A and B are shown apart, each in its own frame.
Chain A
Amino acid sequence: MADTLLFNALREAVDEEMGRDDTVFVLGEDVGVYGGSYKVTKGLYEKYGEFRVLDTPIAENSFTGMAVGAAMTGLRPIIEGMNMGFLLLAFNQIANNAGMLRYTSGGNYKIPMVIRGPGGVGRQLGAEHSQRLEAYFQAVPGLKIVACSTPYNAKGLLKSAIRDNNPVLFFEHVLLYNLKEDLPDHEYLVPLDQAEVVRPGEDVTLLTYSRMRHHAMQAAKKLEQKGFDPEVIDLISLKPLDFDTIGASIKKTHRVIVVEECMKTGGIGAEIVASINDRFFDELDAPVLRLSSQDIPTPYNGKLESLTIVQPQKIEEAVEKMMALQI
């Protein structure tokens, strides 16, 4: 098959699942007639009609709660957050109802819903449109949190998320929509709970996700030329974390660097470091290092913005420094 752009891979996933199961529907701002702000739902309104590709008013908390109610009563909604940052306005419905209601109801209801859309730091979009909500939402019980990073995993993960009987927060990255990849002609699913070993290596484990996977791989190429052999793992599932894959890698390399786009304080990496200390402390030959975004609102200025997130050069330096440590 010809190369598929990531946003088209996502559209194929939604289209295939809507074709397979007529309880699956999409809702959100400008998902229908407009085709989605990143064109993930382009053409689906024409194909499936106004109910199954529902243009909502700009009322994030209410349409998210509406999706919870629809999911409780047997439909499988896919919410598109036009920008994931907008979902701060839906925090209550995502946390209290999508996340906790199955538990507080003692298992009376299940909530099969997907909340997907673009997150991450783009190009000079300003602080509010450059958020990484995965860190804010990771403490909510009952949510699965997934981040895609390639057209292949975007499609397979989204199909799995739609079929899952739990609420899944599905993070795309605003700068990855135009990645291209040759996708299989046959249908495939990618499991939600498994990290992906992107580059096997022996020296140090780079744990990363979303766009930072690509920064880590750029760094890995340079490091390879310098004689280093880093292992790059794309976490995929940010909650729950795949400690089988993470642990197997640590037992091999004994060194870990987390490379993340969320802010350092209270970030995904903070949770990973704490969990690694709990589970694999004896395997470590060096303290686990976090490379995170700065703890600031993302500045508009391009230079300041690039200083805010982790650049490949920083990853290279961190690996070299860690490998130079006398053990």
Chain B
Amino acid sequence: MAQERTLPVFNATDALVTAEEGLTIYEDMVLGRYFEDKCAEMYYRGRMFGFVHLYNGQEAVSSGVIKCLRTDDYVCSTYRDHVHALSVGVPARNVMAELFGKETGCSKGRGGSMHLFSAEHNLLGGFAFIGEGIPVALGAAFQSHYRRNALGDAAADQVTACFFGDGTTNNGQFFECLNMAALWQLPIIFVVENNKWAIGMAHDRASSQTEIYKKASVFGMTGVEVDGMDVLAVRGAALEAVRRARAGEGPTLIECLTYRFRGHSLADPDELRSKEEKEEWLARDPLKRFETYLLQQNLVKGSDLKAIRDRIQTLVDEAVTFAEQSPEPDPSELYRYIFAER
């Protein structure tokens, strides 16, 4: 079992939320959780195929970061991308339809679980190979920087949030892109979701420096670690990173200490992680923790939260119905989208 790092202490007063913000974040986290639970059900019932990587347990990261962003900011994800797509606002039914391989999917049924895209929502993708999304995210950040500095467009202050896991931080593209982001002071946030495990490779067996946030300092970049099971801790770090990026003060690396409650993918028997480790992290469930916070602070009523849970369950169920009833791609369009049509 990997050694447990002491979770950073977080002062909640740094990131107080209003009732409205709290409900928005809560709803996003519930959506992420319920959507993924439904995916597992659909996968085991043979309704979706391929490699499906679920996000259960890591919801505080997606909601904590993405709910700090504007709609014109950019988000870049990995193969574990369903919940990032939901957080940026891709409708659940279009994500579900994609997983069912339908024409109404956000990638028209051509992408699948690991290749979710939505230009409308500035979702740069689901990138299936380790590390390959980081340069693409860097390119989006460079684009904003270019418009602002080379073309003089003062309104081009968009920020790019780039998500990836602990395993990726041993890959060259991670280091190459941290270097360029710091070199050019690009408006990008590197969000490391350190869930302690690649597939069967424990982080401390793969990395000589397990405290990933420290790797930022080599590039003169701000690196922070946060309790990735606490959405307000993530939000607090993200708000500061977004502020800095938007102000032209450059990139930030945020290491979120988190955990996935399921195997690497639904094809992973998940036999290497110990029962004790799993139970310890399950006890920190970010959804329950935030719910408790909202109630203890008297920000919301229990009935408000239940109403959200009921609404989201209905929405997820409707997403499945939509996906099931949607048409498959037309075989006559097998070659469509290879090249731009104009």
CB distance from A205 to the nearest CB of B (A): 27
A102 touching B339, Cβ below 8 Å: yes
A69 and B180 in contact, given A51-B150, A102-B340, A165-B340 (Cβ under 8 angstroms)? no
**Other-chain contact of B338, A51, A52, A141 (Cβ < 8 Å):** A141
Q: Is B105 in the interface zone, CB < 8 Å from A? A: yes
**Other-chain contact of A71, B108, B111, B139 (Cβ < 8 Å):** B139
CB distance from B27 to the nearest CB of A (A): 25
A105 touching B107, Cβ below 8 Å: yes
In the complex, chain B residues whose CB is within 8 Å of the CB of A65: 132, 134-136, 138-139, 173
A106 touching B132, Cβ below 8 Å: no
- Look across to chain B and name the residue whose beta carbon is closest to the beta carbon of A110: B340
B74 touching A73, Cβ below 8 Å: yes
CB distance from A97 to the nearest CB of B (A): 6
A66 touching B136, Cβ below 8 Å: yes
A105 and B146 in contact, given A69-B138, A72-B124 (Cβ under 8 angstroms)? no
A74 touching B143, Cβ below 8 Å: yes
A68 touching B136, Cβ below 8 Å: yes
- Look across to chain A and name the residue whose beta carbon is closest to the beta carbon of B183: A57
Give the size of the chain A interface in residues (CB under 8 angstroms): 44
CB distance from B18 to the nearest CB of A (A): 32
Q: Is A62 in the interface zone, CB < 8 Å from B? A: yes
CB distance from A68 to the nearest CB of B (A): 5
Q: Is A61 in the interface zone, CB < 8 Å from B? A: yes
Q: Is A75 in the interface zone, CB < 8 Å from B? A: yes
B88-113 contact mask (Cβ, 8 Å, vs A): 1 or 0: 00000000000000000111111100
B119 touching A109, Cβ below 8 Å: yes
A108 and B117 in contact, given A66-B142, A72-B124 (Cβ under 8 angstroms)? yes
Whole-angstrom distance between the alpha carbons of A291 and B110 in the complex?
39
Q: List residues of B (135-194) whose CB comes within 8 Å of A's CBs.
A: 135-146, 149-151, 172-173, 176-177, 179-180, 183
A56 and B180 in contact, given A96-B132, A102-B340, A106-B337 (Cβ under 8 angstroms)? yes
CB distance from B111 to the nearest CB of A (A): 5
- Look across to chain B and name the residue whose beta carbon is closest to the beta carbon of A64: B135
A59 and B110 in contact, given A68-B135, A107-B336 (Cβ under 8 angstroms)? no
- Look across to chain A and name the residue whose beta carbon is closest to the beta carbon of B336: A107
**Other-chain contact of B143, A22, A69, A96, A102 (Cβ < 8 Å):** A69
Q: Is A104 in the interface zone, CB < 8 Å from B? A: yes
A103 and B338 in contact, given A25-B146, A65-B139 (Cβ under 8 angstroms)? yes
- Look across to chain B and name the residue whose beta carbon is closest to the beta carbon of A113: B139
Q: Is A243 in the interface zone, CB < 8 Å from B? A: no
B74 touching A22, Cβ below 8 Å: no
**Other-chain contact of A75, B105, B109, B146, B172 (Cβ < 8 Å):** B146
A284-326 contact mask (Cβ, 8 Å, vs B): 1 or 0: 0000000000000000000000000000000000000000000
A40-76 contact mask (Cβ, 8 Å, vs B): 1 or 0: 0000000001011000110101111111111111110
Q: Is A142 in the interface zone, CB < 8 Å from B? A: yes
Whole-angstrom distance between the alpha carbons of A60 and B317 in the complex?
45
CB distance from B103 to the nearest CB of A (A): 9
A104 touching B110, Cβ below 8 Å: yes
CB distance from B130 to the nearest CB of A (A): 10
B125 touching A105, Cβ below 8 Å: yes
Residue picked from A104, A112, A141, most chain B C-beta under 10 Å: A104
Q: Is A124 in the interface zone, CB < 8 Å from B? A: no
- Look across to chain A and name the residue whose beta carbon is closest to the beta carbon of B74: A73
A103 touching B142, Cβ below 8 Å: no
- Look across to chain A and name the residue whose beta carbon is closest to the beta carbon of B133: A65
Q: Is B313 in the interface zone, CB < 8 Å from A? A: no
- Look across to chain A and name the residue whose beta carbon is closest to the beta carbon of B149: A51
Whole-angstrom distance between the alpha carbons of A51 and B144 in the complex?
12
A57 touching B179, Cβ below 8 Å: yes
In the complex, chain B residues whose CB is within 8 Å of the CB of A74: 143
Q: Is A93 in the interface zone, CB < 8 Å from B? A: yes
A93 touching B135, Cβ below 8 Å: yes
CB distance from A214 to the nearest CB of B (A): 31
**Other-chain contact of A61, B109, B115, B172, B183 (Cβ < 8 Å):** B172
In the complex, chain A residues whose CB is within 8 Å of the CB of B135: 61-66, 68-69, 93
Whole-angstrom distance between the alpha carbons of A110 and B172 in the complex?
26
- Look across to chain A and name the residue whose beta carbon is closest to the beta carbon of B135: A65
A22 and B137 in contact, given A96-B129, A107-B336 (Cβ under 8 angstroms)? no
In the complex, chain B residues whose CB is within 8 Å of the CB of A75: 143, 146
CB distance from B121 to the nearest CB of A (A): 10
- Look across to chain A and name the residue whose beta carbon is closest to the beta carbon of B103: A106
- Look across to chain A and name the residue whose beta carbon is closest to the beta carbon of B144: A73
**Other-chain contact of A70, B107, B119, B128, B142 (Cβ < 8 Å):** B142
- Look across to chain A and name the residue whose beta carbon is closest to the beta carbon of B114: A104
Q: Is B342 in the interface zone, CB < 8 Å from A? A: yes
**Other-chain contact of B136, A72, A103, A166 (Cβ < 8 Å):** A72
In the complex, chain A residues whose CB is within 8 Å of the CB of B336: 107
Q: Is B326 in the interface zone, CB < 8 Å from A? A: no
A142 touching B124, Cβ below 8 Å: no
Q: List residues of A (118-154) whose CB comes within 8 Å of B's CBs.
A: 141-142, 144
In the complex, chain A residues whose CB is within 8 Å of the CB of B118: 108
A52 and B150 in contact, given A72-B136, A102-B337 (Cβ under 8 angstroms)? yes
- Look across to chain A and name the residue whose beta carbon is closest to the beta carbon of B138: A66
In the complex, chain A residues whose CB is within 8 Å of the CB of B151: 22
15 A-B residue contacts at CB 8 Å? A51-B146, A51-B149, A57-B180, A61-B176, A69-B139, A73-B140, A102-B339, A104-B117, A105-B117, A107-B337, A108-B107, A108-B117, A108-B119, A111-B340, A144-B339
Known: A66-B142, A72-B119. 19 other contacts (CB 8 A): A51-B146, A57-B179, A61-B172, A62-B138, A63-B180, A68-B135, A69-B124, A69-B138, A69-B139, A69-B140, A70-B139, A73-B124, A73-B139, A93-B132, A102-B339, A105-B111, A105-B117, A107-B337, A108-B119
- 8 closest A-B pairs (Cβ-Cβ)? A69-B139, A65-B135, A106-B108, A105-B117, A51-B150, A165-B340, A62-B176, A69-B136
Which B positions have Cβ atoms within 8 angstroms of A? 74, 76, 105-111, 115, 117-119, 124-125, 127-129, 132, 134-146, 149-151, 172-173, 176-177, 179-180, 183, 336-342
